Amino acid sequence: MSAFLDRTSVDKLIRSSRERSQSKHSLTSSTRNPILRLQADEIIHRNERFLDQAGGAAAEVDKSALLPSRSRYCLLITDADGIVIESYAPEGVEAEFQRSGLVRGAVWDERVAGTNGIAMAMQSGRVLTVRGGEHFYDCFHQLSCSSAPLTDAQNNLIGTITLVGSLHRRPEEHALCEQVVRRASRQFQTRLFRNFHADKLTGRVLSQDLEQNRIFETLVACDEDGVIISHLPLWRDAARPTEHQGLAGRYISDLKNLKISLRGPAVVPPKRKVLHPDKPRLPARIDKDATLGRLIAEGGGLPVLAERARKLVAHRVPLLICGAAGTGAGRFARALLEDQNLDTPMTLTLDAAHSGTETDLAEALKSLDFLSDYPVCDIAPTLILKNVETLSAEAQAVLERYLDSSRADSGSKAHPPVVLFTAGKPWLQLESDEGIPRNLLYLLAQSVVELPPVTERDCETVLANVIAESFDTAIEIAENALDVLTGYHWPGNRREMLAVLREAVICGNGRRINVTDLPARLLAPREESSKALTRASLRDALDSTNWNVTKAARLLGKSRATLNRWIASEGLQRPE
């Protein structure tokens, strides 16, 4: 097996494959001639498809380059299905290999051929050798097969290359076969990568791990400014050397501790251009139909607050959005980003109330810092950190270090980040609490926007917005129910309003909210006459229950007979 697979991994792969061959594929190890062969027409078709994927004749897998003179090795090239499309055997020993199924058209899929080098190289994506008794079928126990996957510029499997020889060779020969197919596989993929990026500057970046005595190599393609736009590792095990991670978007000349060799029009790595941030630009006006436009229609000073917040975000000033719990700080933050086309899939959002935030926050801030220097597609890096008042002491220390350092070098950033914080407390309460240290609080609150409670806004507009945001179908509110909703003081703000509306819709008919559908805590004593109250309550109860008299009587706490008398006295009729 490959030197990069430990013995435990080897045994696990072999054992798993042999178990599948016997239990899942129902194969018998004593079968004498197990390998199936396809018709010539099908082989020609598969060969043409392979050549098309490989960009024509592949010199890296040519028999003259891989088979030593007077060797007794067979060379097999398969497609991605494990079908042999080319088979080369030394003169005079062709029949010996053909008896083992090492011929064009042979099917080496595990489901047919059991445990073998070709199938395992395709499944594991590794360079490996299957020897003797590791094969499933007894008739292959005298063979040693070294196989390597052949992949294209995007790491998609398109075939394999295999050297097959006698098991009774010197250990050095087995190791040599594995090195030969590994080198051929790497050269094959390198050519396809360079062909795919023929109009780009391509090269290799190498690093050495002295402890493992290994060299790691990655192919890279750069644009005309030297920014890496694509990279492809050439090792096939699970190793993840840090120097080779996160290369996309970085400038080739900025890579440290890596040996770089380029191929293309540039002799030396191009220097990174110094980018200067653009002057802040704001949309001329807020779109009334956008989220921010609908929010400021609620009044309560929100139009002034929104304009102020827009300017601060445009100038990349860290912004703290606070207010009583449920006032919608998170929604307001998203609306600000949407207003300036900053709400992208790359926006990072973290909730400080969740466990493990300090680790996630450290990674997010590191990513934010990197994207500020090496922006992707000119998209400004953005972070929303919710519920900052619940940050742990460790997370507070991480955030303080970042804000302190970023304030010092913000002018040198190619794209300064947009950082928004939200808190579920008013500003005075944040100042008086001891949850956030003073030195961090004023770094967080370099600018503050405090959202007004629902009682200071136009309640009807807030109700309409909450319904539009939270319900798929239009919900009608009866006039007397609207009086109750707009007259309520809403201590839980928008959050409580949504809960009340959802409860009313579920308990009513799903289309119209009536007084009888509202929770009892909202129903204050009324000055109306008993008769007027009875008439309104009766109509609401019948409407909410789709004129099911039994259910309406239960809602009002009356008997069915009493309800029928009321219906008759009021002259009410079931709607058509």
Q: Which two tokens stand for residue 307?
A: 């304009």
- What is the band of 377 on the pLDDT scale with cuts at 50, 70, 90? low
pLDDT tens-digit map of 116-146: 999 999 998 888 889 899 999 999 999 999 9
pLDDT tens-digit map of 439-494: 899 888 889 999 999 988 888 899 999 999 999 888 999 888 888 898 898 999 99
DSSP assignment of 91-109, as one string? TT-HHHHHTTT-STTBB--
Q: Which two tokens stand for residue 349?
A: 């959002």
Give the residue-averaged pLDDT of 507-524: 86
pLDDT number for residue 1: 36
Return d(Cα 82, Cα 503) in angstroms, integer: 60
pLDDT tens-digit map of 280-291: 667 778 888 899
Return d(Cα 253, Cα 255) in angstroms, integer: 6
Cβ–Cβ under 8 Å, residues 129 and 1: yes
Give the residue-averaged pLDDT of 429-440: 88
Lowest-confidence range among 190-194, 254-258, 357-361? 254-258
Domains of the chain as residue ranges with CATH: 7-187 (3.30.450.40), 201-263 (no CATH), 291-449 (3.40.50.300), 453-524 (1.10.8.60), 526-576 (1.10.10)
Q: Which two tokens stand for residue 172?
A: 């050095």
Nearest partner of 80 among 178, 152, 175, judged by Cα: 152
Share of the chain above pLDDT 70, in %: 89
- Residues contacting 155, CB < 8 A, separation 6+: 232
DSSP state of 213: T
- What is the band of 509 on the pLDDT scale with cuts at 50, 70, 90? confident
pLDDT tens-digit map of 4-18: 456 577 778 888 999
Lowest-confidence range among 18-32, 315-329, 399-413, 540-554? 399-413
Q: Residue 74 pairs with which residues in a beta bridge?
A: 164
* Count of helix runs (H) and strand runs (E) in the chain: 20, 16
Nearest partner of 116 among 76, 153, 72, judged by Cα: 76
Helix 302-314 and helix 329-339, axial crossing angle in degrees, nearest 10? 60
pLDDT surpassing 50 at residue 242:
yes
pLDDT surpassing 90 at residue 528:
no
Q: Which two tokens stand for residue 160?
A: 């394999």
